Amino acid sequence: MWKKYNKSWLLNLGFVHKVQAEVQDFLSYIASEKGLALNTIHSYQRDLEAFLSFVQTKGASSLPQITTHHIIDFLSHLQHHQYASASICRALIAIKVFFKFLSRENLISANISLHLESPKLWQLIPEVLTYEEVEKLLQQHDLSTREGARNKAILEVLYASGLRVSELCALDINHVDDISLRVMGKGSKERMVPIGQAAVDAIDHYSKFRDATPEQALFLNQRGKRIDRITVWKIIKECSRAAHINKNISPHTLRHSFATHLLENGADLRVIQEMLGHASISSTERYTHLSRSALQDAFEAFHPRM
């Protein structure tokens, strides 16, 4: 299925047509041998497109001419244009995997990305909302309308459960009860996630607007079909603008805020890992950086000897 993406973006990228075979071999490699999901392959492809376009503007006309400085400059370019930290981190990972593949296949003499360790290179702490910003975001809905009731329920569920947007879109009506959600996560791993009363109430209110339909999806678009990721992204962008929140907010921001607020209020890291569906505790540990940052800010603001 990944092949539907593999040619169109190569046509207008200057020197990229010279390495078209290498790029397509790489996409085939991560699809078949690594078994990456289609959405991940698509994201890696877009990241490489952007990177190769960027290095072309810097004078590179072949793979051996690309240097470590090109990679750092590209990440700085993304940061300057206010890309989300998760997007910058994913772009770096895509580039590192690509150059590791090129090196393994002896297509370049040295892996220039080998010593670019993302935690050391970039302090990629995710964007997080304050409690006040969350409240403002949740108040931007006309609950007398079907759309407003749905959007309120979507935001309440994202913040109450820390779901990935793909997991939210995949929810069916029978996946929800009064205390928890049954979630199908990455790798088809199912988990039960607690859900608060505010989110349950919002879902119940939205359910009153649902027409009789055989569609089992919990959240529906205007055509009565399962909602998609792009629609959820647009909903959150519109709500953040209405709430005058000057942060680069996405569905993942509510997931980050969910985890950070739990940690700040004393939740165990292993419990947060389970609720987020992280396979490794190291993925969850980055939220400890946020709490340490908040503690340092509080110390500097309130300690009498500062």
The secondary structure element, H or E, covering residue 42 is helix 38-57
Nearest alpha carbon to residue 169 among 179, 180, 183: 183
Angle made by CA atoms 158, 161, 166, in degrees to the nearest 5: 55
Cα–Cα dist 259/275, whole Å? 9
Write down the catalytic residue from 96, 252, 256, 261.
252
Nearest alpha carbon to residue 63 among 112, 11, 118: 112
Write down the catalytic residue from 287, 289, 303, 305.
287
Write down the catalytic residue from 152, 255, 256, 261.
255
Write down the catalytic residue from 182, 247, 278, 289.
278
The answer to whether residue 278 is catalytic is yes
Query: Which pair of tokens denotes residue 287?
Result: 């939220």
The answer to whether residue 237 is catalytic is no
Answer for the pair 6, 12: CB distance below 8 angstroms, yes or no: no
Answer for the pair 202, 153: CB distance below 8 angstroms, yes or no: yes
Cα dihedral 60, 63, 69, 73 sign: positive
The end-to-end CA distance of the chain, in Å, is: 59
The answer to whether residue 186 is catalytic is yes
Answer for the pair 258, 252: CB distance below 8 angstroms, yes or no: no
| Plot region of 224 (φ>0 → left; ψ -120 to 50 → alpha; else → beta) | left
Residue 15: CB atoms within 10 Å: 15
Query: Which pair of tokens denotes residue 196?
Result: 């608060």
Write down the catalytic residue from 70, 96, 152, 164.
164
Phi, psi of 18 (to 5 degrees): -70, -25
Virtual torsion, Cα 243, 249, 250, 256, nearest 10 deg: -110
The answer to whether residue 244 is catalytic is no
Q: Which residues face 180 on adjacent strands?
A: 194
The answer to whether residue 252 is catalytic is yes
The answer to whether residue 255 is catalytic is yes
Write down the catalytic residue from 3, 7, 104, 186.
186
| Residues designated catalytic | 164, 186, 252, 255, 278, 287
